[in-house]
Chains A and B, each alone.
Chain A
Amino acid sequence: MHEILVKAREEHYIPPEKRSNKYHGGMVEHKSWLGVLYTVILYAFMAIIILICIVPMWHVLTSSLSDGSILLFKKGIVWWPIQDSGAESMFNWGGYKLLFRNRGIWSGFLNTFIYVAGSTTLGFVLNVIGGYTISRKSMLSRPLALMLVLTLMFHGGLIPTYMVIKALGMVGTRWALIIPGCTSGIFMVIMANAFRNVPESTIEAAEIDGAGHFTIMFQVVLPQSLSIATVIILNTVILHWNSWYPASIYVPTKRNLWPIQLWIKEILAQNQPSSFLQAANPDYNKYLLQYCVILIASLPVLLLFPLFLKYIEKGVIIGGVKE
């Protein structure tokens, strides 16, 4: 079976960077003035989109470096960090300093990394298994799919879920943050959808070659759905990166197990203007925390994005296996 894949790859593989060029060199391509107009309008429209997306994040960045007491009454977008006259430098690092004075932030990052890695791996395996089973043409696939989809609809609530987790002995440990919630019915359904796109013939060829189900799952069907699989991984990663709620329930008193988002939530809740302004000489840097926190919390994921994009665009490795 391996030979089939290798051969197919050699014959039909078009590296992503080269694909569009091939089309350009194609035989007949009308370059109408309508096409040019469309391109110009599109590019201009996209420029506007870029602007409306980046400007708010820019605002957050500049606000995080501004003087807190001025920010309190400033209206409108902050185009450049605003300082009071008499400030020594252009940037006020007070907000960040305040944030990093919390030593929990570092252990938070580590913990989040552990939870994200653990959950995503476990969840991915479950997704593939679940998606594969549903995508098969068998009698139970539809009822199973229904069962999975129904999990999205009904929730027992805080206390029953806690009781189940407690009965499993996971309360107060890291497992409570890795296992429950590592996957969701949606992902399995989407994965199944992607698997169904794989032509029957490929799977049958693999079966004939003696491939077992696991081989088919991970070496045939999955590589063909790499884009969607990457999207699901991305979604899972971001979901767990942003999650604080399970930690607040299962490990509330064990601060050495907290993920970063829970630390951030607590820091923000402790530094509300409604409380810190009660002091005579309040530390206005606390007002900056809500902005600094966004950057700290989202920067790692934003930096990982290009990596994910590469995989998403790689798309289909094997091409052109005719039905």
Chain B
Amino acid sequence: MVQKPNTEFQAKQARLIHSIPKLSFGKRLKKDLKKNWVVYVIFLPVLLYVLLFNYAPLFGLVMAFQDFNVLKGVFGSSFNNFANFKTLFFRDNFGIVLRNTAGMALLNLTVGFIVPVIFALLLSTIRHKRYKRVIQISSYIPYFISTVVVVALWKEFLDEGGVIANFLSWFGFRNQNWLANNKVPVFWLINTAIDIWVGFGYGAIIYCAAIANVNPNLHEAAAIDGAGEWKRMWHVSIPSIIPLVVTMLTLRIGTVFLQGFDKVLLLYSPSIYSTADCLTTYIYRIAFAGSADYGVSTAAGLFQSAIATTLLIISNYLNRKITKSSLF
């Protein structure tokens, strides 16, 4: 298993051994700057980029609290405090929307997340080079079909008499239009299934890279010990990529509320609003159908960002506790 450098622990140990008192924050900072100032200077372009293009536009977040009028601009529009948030949240169906979003996000983070990883691992056990290459390239292809066509295809398959509906009827389900079924997990499963189908090949690339990146000596050692493909995958590949997997999961937990629901807009219909309506589509209907209300849409974005950040911080903390490494 690759050891992650654990600065703090080692430093603590070192201090215990050598009885060096811990320096104050200011002193440590000065020491650090002295040692690493070159690195920080090199970082400046990145800092400039991030400040200019990511942080500077954040002044626009005030729009969430404004009755934003395009003609008056950000600086001329009047403030309406929390009225935009009120428009968003205090409606009958907001609770259902949250529930649906949570359900779909959960599936996304469990099933939807693990499939590409498993696929990459399985792929690594295939010895036949050509076959592996064919599988890989085929698996990327769904990613390139535009969402509109993907949705159109799936709508047909899920319709009564379509491929998937027929397939499911062998298992005892009634042959029906699955996209008109508003029982709870049906739409969520469909959404996740489409997500997986579209993204598993592409999402597996990074894990394939990590698996390929593993120190071949480890593989060699395991082979000498008598391990076949499967055992090697289990005992060498998996542990090696766990840090990456956890990093990606942490990132995904943070961003799941922000993206990934565009196809719901194309898939859903009023008869299944009770299970299919999620934050993105809900916000779309309020802020964009009709003419764009930037105040409300910024408020919605702010709300989503707040949730996402909270989740990110929590998952990063758990990450650190469990694997001793973290995003930040």
Contacts and interface: CB of A to CB of B under 8 A. Distances in A.
Nearest to B4: A196
B56 A57 contact: no
A131 B282 CA distance: 37
Interface in A244-286: none
B57 A155 contact: yes
B220 A137 contact: no
Interface stretch (A19-27, A90-98, A101-109): A19-27
Contacts, number: 275
Contacts of B328: 142-143, 145-146, 148-149
A189 interface: yes
B196 to A, nearest CB: 11
Nearest to B32: A139
A275 to B, nearest CB: 16
Contacts of B146: 290, 293-294, 297
Given A139-B32, A183-B49, A190 B247 contact: yes
Interface of B: 2-5, 7, 28-29, 32, 35-36, 38-40, 42-43, 45-46, 49-50, 52-61, 63, 70, 73-74, 119, 122, 125-127, 129, 131, 133-142, 144-146, 148-150, 153, 156, 162-163, 197, 201, 205-206, 208-210, 212-217, 219-220, 223-226, 228-230, 243-244, 247-248, 251, 254-255, 258, 294, 297-298, 301-302, 305, 308-309, 312, 325, 327-328
Given A29-B228, A190-B206, A181 B53 contact: yes
Given A305-B137, A306-B137, A159 B224 contact: no
A151 to B, nearest CB: 4
Given A43-B126, A133-B42, A145-B328, A155 B254 contact: no
A153 B55 contact: no
Interface of A: 12, 14, 17, 19-20, 22-23, 26-32, 35, 38, 42-43, 45-46, 49-50, 52-54, 56-57, 59-60, 75-77, 125-126, 129-130, 132-133, 136-140, 142-161, 163-164, 168, 179-181, 183, 185-186, 188-190, 193-194, 196-197, 200, 212-214, 225-228, 230-231, 234, 290-291, 293-294, 297-298, 301-302, 305-306, 309, 312-316, 319-320, 323
A60, A157, A183 — which one has the most chain B CB atoms within 10 A of its CB?
A157
Contacts of A29: 223, 226, 228
A306 to B, nearest CB: 7
A297 B5 CA distance: 44
A160 B74 CA distance: 8
Nearest to B148: A290
17 contacts: A35-B228, A35-B229, A43-B131, A46-B122, A50-B134, A53-B139, A56-B150, A151-B55, A156-B58, A161-B57, A190-B244, A212-B38, A228-B210, A231-B206, A231-B209, A294-B144, A305-B140
B39 A133 contact: yes
Given A54-B138, A156-B61, A196-B4, A301 B144 contact: yes
B45 A164 contact: no
Contacts of B243: 193, 197
A306 B205 CA distance: 12
Contacts of A60: 145, 149
Contacts of A35: 228-230
B149 A294 contact: yes
A284 to B, nearest CB: 17
A164 B212 contact: no
Contacts of A323: 3
Contacts of B297: 157
